[in-house]
C-alpha cells in the first residue's frame, strides 16, 4: 500500500467521524511538510506519514471502552490495532513494527528515538494546539522543551500564538480575544430539564460505581435507554470522585453523556471543593476532546450529596469560567439546566457577580 491507500483505508475505518478524520489529515499534512523540509530519506518519510495517518487509531475504541482517550489507554490499544490494520498492506515486518511503535508511544515524549518520532510529536502538537487553542505560554514551553527540527519550529511559530494575550488564529480573525468578558458569554443558567437540552453533551451527576440512581441520574438513564446506558457504564466500571468519564448518548438528543462524580458533602474539610471543581473541569475537557460545541450540566452534588447550594454554585461557575479562560475563550457553550426557583436565583446572582468582577478587573 502507498500513503494514499493507507489514507483511504483510515478514512473508511473512521466511520464518518469527521473530527477524527480532520485531525489525522492535519497531523499528516504537518508531518509530511516537516519531513520533506528536513530532507528525510524516502523510507523514513513513509514510516512518518503512515504513523501520522494512523496515530490516533485507538481513540474511538478508548472512548467506548474507557470513556477516555488518555494517553496510556490510547498507546496500549493503538499499538495492537495498527498492526492488525496494516496486516494486509504489503509492508515489511520492520515497517509495521516501527509504525506500531510510533503509534504506541506518540504521547511518551521521553521515548523519542528518531526523526520520524520527533516529527510526529511536533506535527501532533501543532495540530492539537491549533484545534484546542492552547495558550501562548503553553506553546512557548512546548517549543522550548520538545521541538527539535528547524522546520517544525518555523511552522509552529507561523501557526500558533506565542505572545501572551494573543489567542489562536481562528479567534484572532473573528476579532475576539477570548479574554475578559468573552469567556462569560458561554455560561448560562436555564430553567429546563436536563433531558430536554439539545447540547452535544449532557452531564450526569453520577456515583463512583456509575450505577443508575434517582434524580438527574435516573432521568438521564431513562432518556438514554436504561439497558444500553447501563451496559456502557458497566463496561467502564468506575470513576474516581472529582473526575468524569464519557459514554454515547444513545436515545438522548445529546451525542454524549458525561458522567461526572461529585463529592458527598462531609462538612467541607475533606477536599470537597477541589473534588467538585475537578468533576466539572474534567467534564469540560472530555466534551472538548470529543468535539462537542455545547454541554449541559445539572448542579452536581447539590441534591442527595448535600453540598451547600452557594458552595456548589461557586465551584460550578469557577470551574467553567477558569476552563474557558484557560482554553482561549468562549467556543464551548455551557448551559446549566436547573428547575428549582431558589437554585436558579442563587446561581444567576453568583454568575452576575462573577461577570461584574471580571469586567471590572
Ligand atoms: Fe493526535
Least confident of 39-43, 178-182, 189-193, 211-215: 178-182
Whether 182 has a pLDDT exceeding 60, the answer reads: no
152 C-alpha to center of ligand 1: Å? 16
CA–CA–CA angle 354, 358, 359 (5° rounding): 120
Q: What percent of the chain is modeled with pLDDT above 70?
A: 92
Residue spans of the domains in the chain: they are 3-159, 182-359
**Gap from CA of 181 to ligand 1 centroid (Å):** 31
pLDDT tens digits along 222-236: 999 999 999 999 999
Q: If you measure from the C-alpha of residue 142 to the centroid of ligand 1, how many angstroms do you get, rounded to a whole number?
A: 15
Query: 182-359 has which fold?
Result: 3.40.220
Distance 307 CA to ligand 1 centre (A): 38
Residue pLDDT, tens place only, 141-161: 999 999 999 999 999 999 998
CA Rg value for the chain: 22
Confidence of residue 138 (pLDDT cuts 50, 70, 90): confident
**24 Cα to the center of ligand 1, angstroms:** 7
Residues near ion ligand 1 (Cβ under 5 Å): 56, 124
Q: The pTM is what?
A: 0.55
The domain made up of 3-159 has a fold known as Hypothetical protein af1432 (1.10.3210)
| Whole-number percent of the chain with pLDDT over 90 | 70
What is the 188 CA–ligand 1 centroid distance (Å)? 31
Give the Å distance between the CA of 38 and the centre of ligand 1.
Answer: 21
Q: How many A from CA of 320 to the centre of ligand 1?
A: 25
> What is the 242 CA–ligand 1 centroid distance (Å)?
26
Q: Report the separation in Å between the CA atom of 103 and the middle of ligand 1, taken as the mean of its atom positions.
A: 10
Which pLDDT score, from 0 to 100, does residue 359 have?
A: 62
Extract the C-alpha cell encoding 263.
Answer: 463529592
Of residues 169 and 128, more confidently modeled: 128
Amino acid at each position: 500500500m502507498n500513503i494514499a491507500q493507507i489514507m483511504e483505508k483510515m478514512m473508511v475505518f473512521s466511520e464518518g467521524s469527521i473530527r477524527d478524520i480532520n485531525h489525522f489529515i492535519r497531523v499528516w499534512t504537518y508531518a509530511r511538510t516537516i519531513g520533506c523540509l528536513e530532507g528525510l530519506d524516502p523510507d523514513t518519510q513513509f514510516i512518518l506519514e503512515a504513523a501520522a495517518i494512523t496515530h490516533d487509531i485507538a481513540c474511538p475504541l478508548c472512548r467506548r471502552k474507557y470513556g477516555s482517550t488518555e494517553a496510556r489507554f490510547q498507546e496500549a490499544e493503538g499499538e495492537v490495532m495498527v498492526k492488525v490494520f496494516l496486516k494486509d498492506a504489503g509492508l515489511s515486518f520492520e515497517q509495521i513494527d516501527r509504525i506500531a511503535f510510533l503509534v504506541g508511544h506518540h504521547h511518551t515524549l521521553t521515548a523519542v528515538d528518531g526523526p520520524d518520532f520527533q516529527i510526529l510529536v511536533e506535527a501532533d502538537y501543532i495540530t492539537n494546539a491549533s484545534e484546542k487553542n492552547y495558550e501562548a505560554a503553553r506553546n512557548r514551553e512546548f517549543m522550548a522543551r520538545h521541538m527539535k527540527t528547524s522546520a517544525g519550529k518555523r511552522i509552529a511559530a507561523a501557526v500558533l500564538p506565542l505572545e501572551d494575550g494573543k489567542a489562536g488564529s481562528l479567534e484572532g480573525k473573528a476579532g475576539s480575544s477570548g479574554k475578559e468578558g468573552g469567556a462569560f458569554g458561554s455560561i448560562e443558567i436555564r430553567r429546563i430539564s436536563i433531558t430536554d437540552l439539545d447540547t452535544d453533551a449532557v452531564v450526569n451527576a453520577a456515583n463512583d460505581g456509575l450505577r443508575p440512581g434517582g434524580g438527574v441520574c435516573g432521568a438521564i438513564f431513562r432518556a438514554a435507554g436504561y439497558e444500553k446506558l447501563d451496559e456502557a457504564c458497566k463496561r467502564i466500571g468506575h470513576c474516581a470522585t472529582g473526575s468524569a468519564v464519557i459514554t454515547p448518548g444513545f436515545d438522548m438528543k445529546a451525542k454524549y453523556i458525561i458522567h461526572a462524580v461529585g463529592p458527598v458533602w462531609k462538612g467541607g474539610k475533606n477536599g470537597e471543593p477541589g473534588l467538585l471543581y475537578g468533576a466539572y473541569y474534567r467534564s469540560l475537557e472530555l466534551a472538548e476532546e470529543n468535539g462537542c460545541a455545547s454541554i449541559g450540566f445539572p448542579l452536581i452534588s447539590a441534591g442527595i450529596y448535600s453540598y451547600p447550594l452557594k458552595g456548589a454554585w461557586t465551584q460550578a461557575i469557577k470551574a467553567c469560567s477558569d476552563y474557558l479562560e484557560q482554553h482561549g475563550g468562549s467556543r464551548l457553550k455551557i448551559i446549566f439546566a436547573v428547575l428549582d426557583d431558589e437554585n436558579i436565583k442563587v446561581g444567576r446572582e453568583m454568575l452576575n457577580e462573577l461577570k461584574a468582577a471580571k469586567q471590572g478587573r
